């Protein structure tokens, strides 16, 4: 898949946090989610974003990731 990012003079635009929950206690696993993550990473890295992926996070862990991400300063 060819990606044509927008022209930008900034090396890094920011940070993207991807929370990839695959396995659930009361639902079936999300097959194909690894492909979703691969494609998200490909597109957003081409656009100049730093991509962090976390798998199978609890609600508390997701809140912690989002809170930490909100305080993150990309240099």
Domain ranges in the chain are: 14-71
- Give residue 74's Cα distance to chain centre: 15
Give the CA-trace dihedral at 73, 60, 42, 50, to 10 degrees.
10
Residue predicted with more confidence, 49 or 6: 49
Mean pLDDT of the chain: 82
For the full predicted model, state whether its pTM sits above 0.75: no
pLDDT digits (tens, 9 = 90+) for 1-37: 556 656 655 566 788 999 998 877 776 667 788 899 9
CATH topology of domain 14-71: Rossmann fold (3.40.50)
Cα–Cα distance measured from residue 11 to residue 50, given in angstroms and rounded to the nearest whole number: 10
DSSP-assigned letters across all residues of 21-33: ----SSS---TTH
Strand 14-20 and strand 49-55: pairing? parallel
- Give residue 29's Cα distance to chain centre: 19
Give strand pairing partners of 16. 51
């Amino acid at each position: 898949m060819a990606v044509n990012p927008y022209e930008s003079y900034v090396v890094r635009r920011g940070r993207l946090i991807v929370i990839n929950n695959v396995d659930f206690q009361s639902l079936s696993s999300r097959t194909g989610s690894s492909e979703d993550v691969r494609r998200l990473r490909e597109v957003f890295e081409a656009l100049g974003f730093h991509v962090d992926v976390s798998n199978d996070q609890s609600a508390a862990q997701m809140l912690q990731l989002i809170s930490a991400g909100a305080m993150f300063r990309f240099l």
